[in-house]
Amino acid sequence: MLPELDVLLRVAMSLTRNSADAEDLVQDTLVRAYGAVERFDGRYPRAWLLTIMRNAQVNRVRRRRPELLRDPEAGDRILESQTPHDSAEQDALRDAFDAAVEDALEALPDKFKRVVRLVDLDGLSYQEAADVLGVPIGTVMSRLHRARHRIRDRLDDADLLTRRAR
């Protein structure tokens, strides 16, 4: 499973927003994958690993918040409610467009934001993002498209699309 390590680490960064937690999450995923390899049919290894990572992340958060153990629907809320904190990447100057896009992304509901991160920041396909989030591919498409429309509208409101299409 070594070829997928960089992808796993990138997605783990999106899920945890913290490099130490991301590394732990990938290790957890590898241990689970290794334990379940007998049941793996050999098809779509990346999708298989991403699904394992999703379950691992849900369990990790549950361990830290044991009150969620009895709640069967807590998984989705866990994935949707974690608030990211800024990484130390902001030493580079951003232009007004990048800053506005980032603001618009942050203003989105968490469930939209998460899909945008997986597809636009991590480069996952729609199906892979669906595997990570545990939702149908149609939900990924709908959330992603609505998220981008909202970002565009916000840029438009800020007059940042003056010389572009409206």
Partner 1 sequence: MNLFRRGAVADRPLSCHQVGKILQSFLDAELDEITTDKVAEHLEDCRRCGMAADVYLEIKASLGRDAPAVPEESLPRLEEFARRLTAGEEGET
Name the site residues for partner 1 (rule: CB under 8 A): 1-2, 5-6, 9-10, 13-14, 17, 19, 22-24, 26-28, 30-31, 34, 87, 89, 94, 97-98, 101-102, 105, 116, 119-123, 125-126, 141, 144-145, 148, 151-152, 155, 161, 164-165
| Nearest alpha-carbon partner for 13 in 117, 120, 125 | 117
In the complex with partner 1, which residue's Cβ is closer, 23 or 110?
Answer: 23
How near is the Cβ of 32 to partner 1 at its closest, in Å?
10
How near is the Cβ of 166 to partner 1 at its closest, in Å?
8
How near is the Cβ of 73 to partner 1 at its closest, in Å?
27
> Do 143 and 118 touch, CB atoms closer than 8 A?
no
DSSP symbol at 85: -
In the complex with partner 1, which residue's Cβ is closer, 77 or 152?
Answer: 152
How near is the Cβ of 61 to partner 1 at its closest, in Å?
16
Work out the number of other CB atoms within 10 angstroms of the CB of residue 83: 6
In the complex with partner 1, which residue's Cβ is closer, 69 or 96?
Answer: 96
Q: Which residues of 64-81 are buried (b: 16+ CB within 10 A; e: fewer)?
A: eeeebeeeeebbeebbee
How near is the Cβ of 72 to partner 1 at its closest, in Å?
25
Where do runs of H (alpha helix) occur along 37-165? 45-64, 74-81, 96-106, 110-116, 126-133, 137-157
Helix (H/G/I), strand (E/B), else coil: 94: coil
In the complex with partner 1, which residue's Cβ is closer, 17 or 62?
Answer: 17
In the complex with partner 1, which residue's Cβ is closer, 72 or 165?
Answer: 165
Residue 102 is encoded by which pair of tokens? 């980032």
